[in-house]
Amino acid sequence: MLFTPTCEYAIRALIFLAGHPAEKPITVQTIGQATDIPTPFLSKILLNLKNHGFLKSTKGPGGGYYLSRSANDIILEEIVQACDGPKEHGEDCVLGLDQCSDKAPCPLHHEWKRFKAEIDLKIHRLTIKDLHQKLVEKQSVLKV
């Protein structure tokens, strides 16, 4: 698992919100149903995203959440940091060995190290807009 469930849900919610205009806030229930995220858990995640400046919200009838800035300006790495905190992806041995390093590598160490570098590069470059566009493309292919 690359991300925690909380982080996965946060990314899914932000991708969903990227497809909606900021002028029309979306309710927690609507986001939860569309993304298959349990509403009570989603409420906490959205509050965290709001506290980190990704979202704004309005209360009352017609209220809900919306992106606080352009989806093109929200980088995946920022979301990971907000949800999971700073960390290097995959510091542990991919095979679960206690002794694994550049000096004493497991059989997959060097391949996994290259793979981790690619993941880190993608996480630092991909935006929510990029991910939303990929989802739209995938959905259009599935409809055909």
Q: DSSP strand E in the chain: where? A: 55-58, 64-67
Over residues 3-59, the pLDDT tens digits come to 899 999 999 999 999 999 877 899 999 999 999 999 999 999 999 999 999 999 999
Residue 99 belongs to domain with CATH number: 1.10.10.10
Over residues 118-137, the pLDDT tens digits come to 988 989 999 999 999 999 88
CA distance 87 to 76: 14
pTM score of the predicted model: 0.85
**Inter-CA distances, 144 with 8, 101, 111, 128, 138, Å:** 28, 47, 37, 25, 10
pLDDT value at position 96? 82
Instruction: Give the chain's domain count.
Output: 1
Structure tokens at 22: 């900021």
CA distance 102 to 2: 22
Task: Find the domain containing 98 and state its range.
Answer: 5-143
Average pLDDT across the chain, whole number? 90
* Parallel, antiparallel or unpaired: strands 55-58 and 64-67: antiparallel
- In single-letter form, the type of residue at position 35 comes to T
